[in-house]
Structure 1
Amino acid sequence: MGKKEKSKSLSDSSQQPPEVVEETRKRSASVDEEQKTNKKKSKRQSESSESSNADEKPNFFSKELFSELPLCEKTQKALQEMKMERMTQIQSRAIPALLTGKDVIGAAKTGSGKTLAFLLPSLELLHQAKFSSKNGTGVVVITPTRELAMQIYGVLQELCQYHSHTYGLIMGGANRKTEAEKLQKGVNLIVCTPGRLLDHLQNTKGFNYRNLLALVMDEADRILEQGFEDDLRAILKLLPKERQTMLFSATQTKKVEDLARLSVNFENSIFVDVPNETKLATAAGLEQGFVTCPSDQRFLLLLTFLKKNKKKKIMVFFSSCNSVKFHGELLNYIDVPVMDIHGRQKQVKRTTTFFQFCKAKTGTLLCTDVAARGLDIPEVDWIIQFDPPDDPKEYIHRVGRTARGATGSGRALLFLTPEETGFLKYLQAAKVSLNEYELPKTANVQSQLQRLIETNYYLNRAARDAYRSYLLAYASHSHRDIFNVHALDLQAVGTAFGFTTPPRVDVAFGKESKRKKVVSGKKATGTGHAFSASNPYGKRSKDDKRQFSH
């Protein structure tokens, strides 16, 4: 497991009531106050510049100023109102090259300022070309998720406040007919998700994209990871070849390189990145730790933590939509107010919740990994990983929602059972070092929880779905040498979901056991996939990279 940091208590050692994590840090009040004053003050969701006297993370800001860029007066005025002064490293490297017409392949971590790096040159292109509605669409920005698209759109709104160019948001879950009507009238700059864009390119008559000036692909690695490779290829075939291309990606994988070969003009392009001067994979202002908690106490620990940190802004990550749904319903039912966001919600609900949490000073958001990458939610105090991430990369993406920007600070806590602590060696190999916290005294409400789940039909149904999805996600974990679903104490796991006796789940097939497999009149003893306690991986094709999507 590797060397662990000195164990720290999650409960207060004084005679005061135990405070989960918050009162355990042995710091003076003056240090806490200093951290608060150094926190990002901006209410916007965009990448913002801090004042010059703030304690900045190394290598975040450059010396170059936005006012020195050859941008039109309208854009400069908007930047001044947004209080943008100094450029970040990725902005100072990418924007000047893009303003000269070069294609750019950019590599930088999320939260480094990529959004302005491509929006400013895009807007300047439209301004110089005197683009109007009759010219159709001049810039297309493709992003992997709806939430990230909404965030970019929010920044675009601020930048365009003095421009007459039209702009729009095109994404799955929104009203397609309304989108089509706007596209037919002419939308100069669109921010979109791949699937919905391809739909309009193929099926919306009157959508004029023949005058396209620039194509932006943000978080390209994530777009490809989510299975949009075929959509992107189809989009690239339909869009005009004579255009400027901006491709931004946090990682440079082989698929990203292949995408660059298809989309970028290498004769007139540059590669820009930001050297990582720190040996740590996570942000410098992030304090992170883990707590070892038995399976049957996981919910009680979460409940205790949330009750003791009501005045904080917290994000809690789960492995499935059903788990988010159940825990959201349960916590709200017992008067612990939380918001939730996951992939099965209608888009209006996701949008409303996203902006509500962004604007909130305090509150708790339960979410799946739909919110784990690229989003810039202001001033998040705590990231709680209630369910373990699939791999170290996912861990890094999750905790990247806090301690963002030049002076950002935040805290992260990972829940692990005693059997799961072997995951720490993978985190250490990925340059992630965690402190260990002692398990505090948790709220003694297990009997009330079980009574509630037993008597409330809707919560019981939600608990069954969440329990089943938890096991399926566990069974599909990348590191099944540690996260072995066949080694789980199902009674203890069920207890955390409020069950006295947990429901039966066929992990191999993902369906509750109602029938037994019969072959030639005999009951089959296996699943057909060679799953067992000694072989948790089972039979799997070397090219099969699917995950359960529950």
Structure 2
Amino acid sequence: MGKRKFKEEEQVDSNSEGNISETCFSDNDEYLENSNDGESQTKQDDETVQVVGDFSKESKELQLESAKDFEDYEKKKFSAVDFTESTMKAIEDMKFEYMTQVQARCIPPALTGRDILGAAKTGSGKTLAFLLPAVELLSRTKFKPRNGTGVIIITPTRELALQIFSVAKELFKYHNQTFGVVMGGANRRGEAEKLTKGVSLLVATPGRLLDHLQNTKGFLFKNLQMLIIDEADRILEVGFEQEMKQILNILPKERQTMLFSATQTTKVEDLARLSLKRAPLYINVDENKEAATNDKLEQGYVVCPSEQRFLLLFTFLKKNLKKKVIVFFSSCNSVKYHAELLNYIDIPVLELHGKQKQTKRTSTFFEFINAEKGILLCTDVAARGLDIPAVDWIIQYDPPDDPREYIHRVGRTARGENASGKALLFLLPSELGFLRFLKNAKVPLNEYQFPTNKIANVQIQLEKLISKNFYLNKSAKDGYRSYLLAYASHGLKKIFNVNQLDLQQVAKAFGFTVPPTVQLTIGASCKDKIYKGAKKAKMTGKEHYVKQKNNKGSDNRQWK
């Protein structure tokens, strides 16, 4: 497909994409490594491994202890903690000097063997808060490959697993322990071979971990010393509750456990009760803060009618080509369409969504991480936990499902205690009620206004392009349909009411003069009805369900 640009606009610099990261990954054993650059360690004769710390007996009830005793560790240097020399050298190489609040409160008690239930705002630095104690445990117990796996870290998505793995790689630089990651989409046979040889620290997604626990002979996990569950609320949200229960039943009960969750829901409490057995320490660094997001994050919203949504997005991206921008969409098909369209008209963008093969997702992820500038279009696959450096803008083009999702999306910028960033939420006039929910969730937003005369008027050219280009036309139809599907499945139906959408105007944002045919079911017992063109541009009826599989919902389980 050839490229073109809209005539009214200036030509865009096409070199805004970054280079693919020079990772340590290869096709077969890409995510399973041994850190052999470090110092030699004393031989261990016994196959079993000593446990660090003294613990109380198991308790059926989850009894939490406050972390007040450890509050005086805040604003301390890493050098104030009794790390091994190898770990301290790695921290210095990573240019870290001061601990964040969650690190200062988690690391000291974790080093003594305490179980921890942590609640921290996204971007708070919790990855190091659990990785450093894990690395220290393996180092101090002189854990060897023949001992099997000593630490397991469970995380909801492949991208987050890769990110934790990359941080672990840096921390293990001067250690001799092995480390790796297992996840859906990777070479299972290669993973199994490495596991049988011994992987001291293992990062895993729930589905693939359960698969190996049940089916990989020679996977030695009886010496497990520490279990870390990261983004527990997200793990449960995407449907891994049963897998987690099975995993907890299989793993040894005598272990140290650390569980982190941005929100404390009933399901998270149940999971904590099952996994935390040793009078856990509760650490919440955000409980006394007035805002649920970073204080240095500038947040705003813009009220934009459906027919002008793409025009405003197009104008915004044209003016911010030298910035690092993430744009969130509600479905894979919508990401694909907008990526194809923008790249075709010489606005270079990257795309990240669940319909991509794992190799493509991985290369795109690292390419954007290492880019100084660029635009990434994505679904919520990138909204949780990922640490993408120096993101200038977070654009929520399609509405989040609830305030929690909003918070996790904007958490991709202003990460860290001194970082800053900006976030912009697109809202239709009918969606302004969502602001009340955000206010109740302690999310402060200001209204941004864009003068109409400053918005690029390329609607006619867009419609001509979509009508003449077969591939873009098909992609636009898929994106339009998936947008309606996602909208119809929104959790806050009183605000995001698919019945109130003007399909004629929605279709214009996708480049159509007449809305494409969409097959919908009205109510549970009614017959299918097909909405065609302007005659049915306004949907009527009590409730609408689209027959085809919900693309937004189908993203939920794709990361295992």
Instruction: Output the CA distance in 2 between the equivalents of 1:162 and 1:465.
Output: 50
Which residue in the other structure is 1:405 paired with? 416
Counterparts of 1:352 and 1:134 in 2: how far apart (Å)?
A: 33
1: CA distance between counterparts of 2:216 and 2:76?
43
Unaligned runs of 5+ in 1: 1-16, 20-43, 45-58, 524-531, 539-544
Flag as ranges the 4+ runs of structure 1 deviating above 6 A. none
Shift of 1:507: 3.6
Find 1:476's aligned residue among 471, 489, 497: 489
Residues 1:497 and 2:502 are matched in the alignment: no
Deviates more, 1:317-326 or 1:63-72: 63-72
Kindly indicate whether residue 314 of structure 2 is the aligned counterpart of residue 309 of structure 1: no
Q: Distance in 2 between matches of 1:203 and 1:60?
A: 46
Aligned 8 A contact 1:480 1:536 in 2: no
AA of the residue aligned to 1:294: P
The partner residue of 1:458 within 461, 464, 471 is 471
Q: Would you say 1:250 and 2:262 are equivalent positions?
A: yes
Residues 183-222 of structure 1 correspond to what in structure 2 (within 5 A)? 183-222=195-234
- Aligned counterpart for 2:455 among listed residues 431, 442, 452: 442
Q: Matched residues in 1 for 2:386 and 2:113: separation? A: 28
Contact 1:320 1:470 (C-alpha < 8 Å) held by counterparts:
yes
Q: CA deviation at 1:533?
A: 4.5
Post-superposition CA distance 1:151-202 (Å, at most 9, x none)? 1111101100111111001111111111111111111111110001001111
Give yes or no for contact 2:306–2:505 (8 Å, CA) kept in 1.
Answer: yes
Corresponding residue for 1:133?
A: 145
Q: Following TM superposition, by how much is the alpha carbon of 1:64 offset from its aligned partner in structure 2, in angstroms?
A: 2.0
The aligned residue for residue 396 of structure 2 is 385
Report the secondary structure of 1:106's partner residue: strand
Aligned-partner Cα distance in 2 for 1:517–1:128: 65
Q: How many Å apart are 1:546 and its aligned residue? A: 12
CA contact (8 A) 2:148 2:221 kept: yes
Match of 1:289 in 2: 300
Residue 4 of structure 2 corresponds to which residue in structure 1? Answer: none
Q: Deviations over 1:287-332 (max 9, x none)?
A: 1111111111111111111111111100000000100011001100
Is 1:61–1:406's contact at 8 Å kept on the other side of the alignment? no
Give the share of equivalent positions with the same residue, in percent: 64
- Write the mapping of 1:71-220 to structure 2, written as runs, cut at 5 A: 71-220=83-232
Which shifted more, 246-255 or 435-444?
Answer: 435-444
Are 2:366 and 1:366 aligned? no
1:487-524: CA deviations, max 9, x gaps? 111011111101121212134389xxxx9659xxxx9x
The number of aligned residues is: 473
Identify which range, 501-510 or 243-252, moves more after superposition.
501-510
Q: Distance in 1 between matches of 2:260 and 2:422?
A: 27
Distance 1:507 1:476 in 2: 13
Match of 2:358? 347
Deviation at 1:117, TM superposition (A): 1.1
8 Å Cα contact 2:73-2:105 kept in structure 1: no
Separation (CA, whole Å) in 1 of partners of 2:544 and 2:477 = 25
- Is 1:416 matched up with 2:423? no
> Per-residue deviation at 1:549?
3.0
1:536 and 1:284 map into 2 onto residues whose CA distance is 40
Question: Structure 1 pair 189/490, CA: closer, same or farther in 2 (3 Å)?
Answer: same
- 1:63 alignment partner, SS class: coil
How far residue 537 of structure 1 moved from its aligned partner, in angstroms, is 8.1
Q: Structure 2: where are the runs of 5+ without partners?
A: 1-7, 11-22, 24-70, 531-538, 556-560
Greater alpha carbon shift after TM alignment, 214-223 vs 277-286: 277-286
Q: TM-score, normalised by structure 2?
A: 0.80
CA distance in 2, matches of 1:115, 1:178: 26
CA contact 2:121–2:292 (8 Å) conserved in 1: no
**Partner SS state of residue 75, structure 2:** strand
C-alpha displacement at 1:363, in angstroms? 0.4
Normalising by structure 1, we get a TM-score of: 0.82
> Relative to structure 2, which stretch is displaced further, 162-171 or 430-439?
430-439
SS of the residue 1:459 aligns to: helix
| Offset from partner CA, 1:72-95 (integer Å, 9 cap, x none) | 110011111112222111112211
Q: Which moved more, 1:322-331 or 1:107-116?
A: 107-116
2:370 maps to a residue whose letter is K
Comparing 216-225 with 82-91, which one deviates more in the overlay? 82-91
Aligned to 1:549: 554
Structure 2 counterpart of 1:335, from 339, 342, 346: 346
Helix, strand or coil for the counterpart of 2:386? coil
- Code of the aligned partner of 1:140: I
